[in-house]
Structure 1
Amino acid sequence: MEGGAIAQFIPLILIFAIMYFLLIRPQQKKMKQHQSMVEALRRGDQVVTQGGMIGKVAKVKEDGEVEVEIAEGVKVRVVKSTIAQVLNKTEPAS
């Protein structure tokens, strides 16, 4: 009787393990990569926002925002976490 009860839980444990390795773990890895990309934003980086705007970072602010220049003289404030991709990185200052 004892062995039968454990045998019933083995498929549930296997399903959870498969879900962890196929869904949860890759999502956590992707979130860490996005977080490190956002942390590394610097002035001059060309970025794409989640809204599809492409611009150049004019200023990185402390309160979780960046100022992005989308056209000459046109700057918008964007929340850092909404930066979807960095197209061109600026070279680090030597």
Structure 2
Amino acid sequence: MTFLPVLAAGGTSNMLATTVLPLVLMFGLFYFLLIRPQKKQEREHAALVNSVETGDSILTSAGFYGVVIDVMPEIVIVEFGNNKNCRIPMKREHIQAVEKANKDA
């Protein structure tokens, strides 16, 4: 006598629910805990970088403070310290924080 598994009419839906549903739930959990906050942070950083103008004080990813002298599509020229000869081009994505220049003065 052999024992063969016999699937009832509702057996396939039960098997589908026990294998696929946990995978869908895990993907949804990963999306809401990891992917969605990362995308939001990337959008906020892109908006910050695009708002940089000449005269703004910035903080670089290396921890240096400087003043933006010139803005180009992919790079900015930053002046560090009081020495007017210390002007360094850097990529815009390395800007961590921006303090807007006072335009009233």
TM range (shorter): 0.7 to 0.9
Using the size of structure 1 for normalisation, the TM-score is 0.88
2:97 aligned with 1:85, yes or no? yes
Task: Name 1:23's counterpart in structure 2.
Answer: 34
The unaligned stretches of length 5 or more in structure 2 are 1-10
Runs of 4+ in 1 over 6 A off after TM superposition: none
> Pairwise mapping of residues 61-72 of structure 1 onto structure 2 (< 5 A)?
61-62=72-73, 64-72=74-82
Aligned residue pairs: how many?
91
Task: Name 2:4's counterpart in structure 1.
Answer: none
> Pairwise mapping of residues 1-94 of structure 1 onto structure 2 (< 5 A)?
1-7=11-17, 8-62=19-73, 64-72=74-82, 73=84, 74-86=86-98, 88-91=99-102
Question: 1:26-83 CA deviation, whole Å, 9 max, x = no partner?
Answer: 1001001111111110011111111111111111023x00011111212111100111
**Percent of aligned pairs with the same amino acid:** 32
Using the size of structure 2 for normalisation, the TM-score is 0.79
TM-superposed deviation, 1:4: 2.1
Task: Name 2:5's counterpart in structure 1.
Answer: none
> In 2, Cα distance between the equivalents of 1:31 and 1:75?
27
In our comparison, the structure showing a higher alpha carbon Rg is 2
TM-superposed deviation, 1:92: 5.9
> In 1, Cα distance between the equivalents of 2:50 and 2:102?
16
The unaligned stretches of length 5 or more in structure 1 are none
Point out the structure with the larger strand share. Answer: 1
